[in-house]
Structure 1
Amino acid sequence: MTASQAVLDLTDSTTMGSFSVTESGDNTPRTTSRRHVLAGSAAVGAAAVATGLTGSFAAATPAAGSGTGRTPAGDPFTLGVASGDPDQHSVVLWTRLATDPLAEDGFGGMGSRNVEVHWELALDERFRKVVRRGHERTGPDHGFAVHAEVAGLLPGWEYFYRFRVGRHVSETGRTRTAPLIGVFGSGLAMSFASCSQFEHGWFTAYRHLAADEPDLVLHLGDYVYEYKPQVYISPDGNVRDHSGPETESLANYRQRYAQYRSDADLRAAHAVAPWLVVPDDHEVDNNWAGDIYEKPHIPQPDFIQRRANAFRAYYENMPLRRRSKPSGSEIQLYRKVSWGSLANFHMLDTRQHRDDQACDDGWKVCEDAANPARTLTGDEQEAWLLRNFRASRARWDILGQQVFFAQRLSASGARSMDGWDGYQGSRERITQGWIEGGVRNPVVLTGDVHTHWANELKADYTDPDSACVGTELVTTSITSGGNGKDSDPSTDPNLQRNPHIKFFNQQRGYVRTRITRNDLRADFRVLDKVTEPGSPVRTRASFVVADRRPGLTEVDPA
């Protein structure tokens, strides 16, 4: 617990009792709904008042120009708020200050002086029951980003947070902690998304995701795109332009993230729930692999520095813990987040440690793709994941990762060298690892391909009768590729060539899931258009994965 955190000790047993946490039949505590938390927390609220933690957050405003407490001339919270990487007793709170988000120097109009940012965490949206307060110092060396790791919280609980600089107060964010190990609770509402190209459309899908009020959001890469304006053109035409050149310098990347974060729909999705994030390729350079950039035949002598710039900006703009702060051109991204005993989320890094794509990338018939020595994860990450499988006692083990996992053959028999088809040895070892580790319910979540898919994972894809040993859910893009189009799964050639693929759709959207002890339900959410703001959302298809029964059962759309 840091000195900057004014605390009401929520881990004290008497305080726990005041929350009226009930016991289940197997003597494990249940998580409580938002309504019950707010209704049952009066005792804690009274204790907070007694300790002096409530009151007007904006009242204690340092005078303008008083060192790190100076008040910016404009609103510094134009990029919104976010939270992420929750565990049982803590969560990361994030903001980044910018009065002029598109400033070319990447400092968002904040100048060169450090700023003191105050934050507070409460049990209610009106901040009458504040349980934590603190402050963080940020400045140009941090891109004016704030990462507050708030500890000492109750497990499985909903909280509200906000920030203040001088007289300016941010919008309110909602977050929650993970339940204790041993707790299943009533279920987890989790949505996941990928691939939001600013130029290709409006971020309406993020707004609909926020309206669903999930408990947790996973973002699986391509959060921003690196291209200069009018280079990556959607089939439907670009509806808005990137600011600045192709991202290479730290200032370029900071400006690009600020432009994306300025979108109100994206800010709403961040504010509604904690996020677990991993990047894919466009946060650095299209289809990069390890130390190799997209087009190695075209000299790019400073790619390692570019990668360092990209990682630094990614950390500055995401609600990641300090353990993920990059060191030069390296960043620690793979990690496990447990949600009680209901689910383990294994967040993977499929770019930084991989071998170069086989056969010069693209869709190829390529013998080298089957070379068992080739790796997508790198040896260390693979060993870490296999250990996690062997140690897991969770009901669901979920891989949050970026690129297509199941086998996917084209009409010519070609495969994508950028996905797991290009690293078949890696896929086989990890699949065998969850089988031998006794993983109860393995589920792979994927982004990258700008289309919805639902796949059954096979022990042997060459044998149509091979056992189904897991499930893959692939989300389409938020905007990338423009509006897209609907398709008929019953006549789609992708499904006919690949019988383990059970669903395919080319519209934009995201995937909404509900995870319980008994099953995982996935709703494939789609929008008719992203080239016009405000398009309604609907569920195109829904599937259920039952406990201990890998595979997909289609059900009526929600």
Structure 2
Amino acid sequence: MDRLEFLRLSGKAAVLSLGLTIASTLKGGKPTFAEESNPFNHQSYPFTLGVASGDPLPDGVVLWTRLAPDPLNGGGMPHYDVPVKWEMALDADFNKIVKHGVEFARNQLGHSVHVEVEGLQPNTVYYYRFRTGPETSPVGRTKTLPPFASDVAKMSFAFVSCQNWQAGYYTAYEHLAKEDLDLVFHLGDYIYEGGVDTSAVRQHNSPKILTLEDYRNRHALYRSDVHLQAAHAAFPWAVTMDDHEVENNYAGLHPDQKHTLEEFIKQRAAGYQAYYEHMPLRRSSLPYGANMQLYRRLNYGNLVDFHILDTRQYRDDQANGDGKKPPTPESMDPSRSLMGAEQERWLLDGLGQSRARWNVLAQQVFFAVRDFKSGVGEQLSMDAWDGYPANRDRILNFIQERNLSNFVVITGDVHNSWANELKADFKNPNSANIGVEFVGTSISSGGDGSDSGNAAVLAENPHIKFYNNYRGYVRCTVTPDHWQADYRVVPYITRPGAHVATRASFVVENGKQELNKIYDAPITVTSV
């Protein structure tokens, strides 16, 4: 479906006009002094969902909060816009305030606040907070990027994904918030859309979600977690969504469940709007009906170019009825795309023009070939890049033709840790390496997990060098000479209080597309 046809159907479903209304609202002027001095009558604390920052630039960053005194029941705010003061300082006590202003908490956007601060110094730590009426938000910490194309000696970041509330506690975020990081990437499945699981560790607050208010309440539930709030407040984040922010395994305008097209467009528009309302995203990502701009770049000096992908919104439907299937002429069709033609051109143009030492795809689903069937034949995930091999080949061929070194993919989705070498020919273990892939486990999805080895899959796929099934995150330290990835895991999440440990560490040297394991140690499970 081309964009014009998509927009026609969006308008038919009456959700495009919603996006236009929101965009028009956001073009309004700043609050007057009278508006600023006459906030709504606070009945309870409005900053229940914490604060966040994101999408940093060398001279700016996005600051976020949402006013929600009754967060799990629609927010509890009046049906009009409310002015909110914001401040940025060089110190956590706000003795050195460098920027301040007033921004509306828009009724049309669930009383969320997105402040795009400009005029900051590069590579600098700042502190921020919000005020409305007599109330003050928690203090957040953020950091700008180094100047464009500048020499950078080192950076550290972590990436996370898949935080099913019902599966357990966000203990991994408790530890991540204490790391020394410049940035955090969230690679999708920030919320889960399903209904109540009576056997869950922590139950959702509603049946399966479909409407805008449903999605708002679900996001608010997740945002109520103190460890998630702490991780947001500690670092700037760059986020992108996968499927559960709308519906499991949806593909473009193809729902996984039985909906009419118009029903699903409305649901997708609701999911996208609620996602924007709860993320530190720029106005360029404001949903336009059921369409949302998420793919974008962050340039960390001349050290790393991060190409943040959207592998869900523009993809062709999964081949062979989805699931784990052998390849067929449908899945091997060279015209099939996981990214859509426009995003693919954007990616290849960016890779071709990059002058950074490392080029990173920050994306959602398993990139390397992963054959689940031992012996003759293949069984591949149709929801991952294995279901769209021609799209993957075009990227890898481009990198090989341009002799682009230091290509790294970071991935979420699968609730396990993996480390993969990306081959010129995955059927030939002796073919050249084109890059590497680090796949992060989930924050909570999948439950406690184990230290199992998945020996059959590793044996069938010699380019896969590591597997682990505990929950956690991946911490990466990058210099011009090497990239180190530490798989940080917790032994359980079905009860609070687990310790964190490094399960394995890999190093990639500049100019060498291979994984060198420098640490590998099972972790111990502490008894109750």
Distance 1:557 1:185 in 2: 29
Q: Using structure 1 for the length normalisation, give the TM-score.
A: 0.85
Distance 1:178 1:428 in 2: 32
Q: How many angstroms does 1:497 deviate by?
A: 0.6
Aligned position for 1:265: 227
Residue 442 (structure 2) aligned to one of 459, 474, 477: 477
Q: How many angstroms does 1:411 deviate by?
A: 1.9
Distance 1:3 1:327 in 2: 17
Q: SS of the counterpart of 2:269?
A: helix
Distance 2:194 2:257 in 1: 14
Q: SS of the counterpart of 2:515?
A: strand
Q: SS of the counterpart of 1:430?
A: helix
Distance 1:74 1:475 in 2: 38
Q: Structure 1 residues 155, 66: closer, same or farther in 2, change over 3 A?
A: closer
Q: How many angstroms does 1:66 deviate by?
A: 7.8
In the alignment, does 2:174 pair up with 1:212? no
Unaligned runs of 5+ in 1: 6-61, 232-236
Residue 425 (structure 1) aligned to one of 386, 390, 395: 390
In the alignment, does 2:128 pair up with 1:161? yes
Distance 1:474 1:481 in 2: 15
Aligned position for 1:76: 46
Distance 1:437 1:347 in 2: 20
Aligned position for 1:496: 459
Aligned length, in residue pairs: 489
Aligned position for 1:366: 327
> Retained in 1: the 8 A contact 2:364–2:413?
yes
Q: Structure 1 residues 329, 4: closer, same or farther in 2, change over 3 A?
A: closer
Residue 507 (structure 1) aligned to one of 470, 479, 501: 470
Aligned position for 1:326: 287
Q: Using structure 2 for the length normalisation, give the TM-score.
A: 0.90
Q: 1:81-92, aligned counterparts within 5 Å? A: 81-92=51-62
State the Cα deviation string for residues 348-391 of structure 1 (Å, max 9, x = none). 00011000000000000131222111100000000000000110
In the alignment, does 2:70 pair up with 1:100? yes
> Retained in 2: the 8 A contact 1:72–1:110?
no
Amino acid in structure 1 at the alignment position of 2:450: K
Q: How many angstroms does 1:437 deviate by?
A: 3.2
Amino acid in structure 1 at the alignment position of 2:277: E
Amino acid in structure 2 at the alignment position of 1:429: R
Amino acid in structure 2 at the alignment position of 1:462: K
Aligned position for 2:407: 442
Aligned position for 2:6: none
> Retained in 1: the 8 A contact 2:80–2:107?
yes
Q: Structure 1 residues 504, 557: closer, same or farther in 2, change over 3 A?
A: closer
> Retained in 2: the 8 A contact 1:217–1:273?
yes
Q: How many angstroms does 1:265 deviate by?
A: 0.5
Distance 2:331 2:217 in 1: 38
Amino acid in structure 1 at the alignment position of 2:342: E
Aligned position for 1:532: 495
Aligned position for 1:453: 418
State the Cα deviation string for residues 407-442 of structure 1 (Å, max 9, x = none). 000125200000000000000001112223342311
State the Cα deviation string for residues 308-362 of structure 1 (Å, max 9, x = none). 0000011111000000001000000100110111111100000110000000000
C-alpha RMSD of matched pairs (Å)? 1.9
Q: SS of the counterpart of 1:308?
A: helix
Distance 1:556 1:276 in 2: 28
Q: How many angstroms does 1:115 deviate by?
A: 1.1
Aligned position for 1:379: 341
Aligned position for 1:390: 352
In the alignment, does 2:219 pair up with 1:254? no
Q: How many angstroms does 1:185 deviate by?
A: 2.7
Q: How many angstroms does 1:495 deviate by?
A: 1.1
Aligned position for 1:223: 190
Q: SS of the counterpart of 1:382?
A: helix
Distance 1:301 1:145 in 2: 27
In the alignment, does 2:236 pair up with 1:274? yes
Q: How many angstroms does 1:71 deviate by?
A: 4.5
Unaligned runs of 5+ in 2: 1-26, 522-528
Distance 1:270 1:475 in 2: 18
Distance 2:217 2:40 in 1: 23
Distance 1:269 1:219 in 2: 11
> Retained in 1: the 8 A contact 2:408–2:437?
yes
Q: Structure 1 residues 475, 425: closer, same or farther in 2, change over 3 A?
A: same
Amino acid in structure 2 at the alignment position of 1:164: R
Distance 1:477 1:318 in 2: 19
Q: How many angstroms does 1:557 deviate by?
A: 5.8
Q: How many angstroms does 1:493 deviate by?
A: 1.5
- Report the identity percentage: 50
> Retained in 1: the 8 A contact 2:405–2:513?
no
Q: How many angstroms does 1:139 deviate by?
A: 3.2
Q: SS of the counterpart of 1:137?
A: strand
State the Cα deviation string for residues 109-151 of structure 1 (Å, max 9, x = none). 1122321111000111111111000110123211010000000
Aligned position for 2:23: none
State the Cα deviation string for residues 436-464 of structure 1 (Å, max 9, x = none). 33423110000000000000000111111
State the Cα deviation string for residues 262-300 of structure 1 (Å, max 9, x = none). 00000001001100100000000000001000134x657
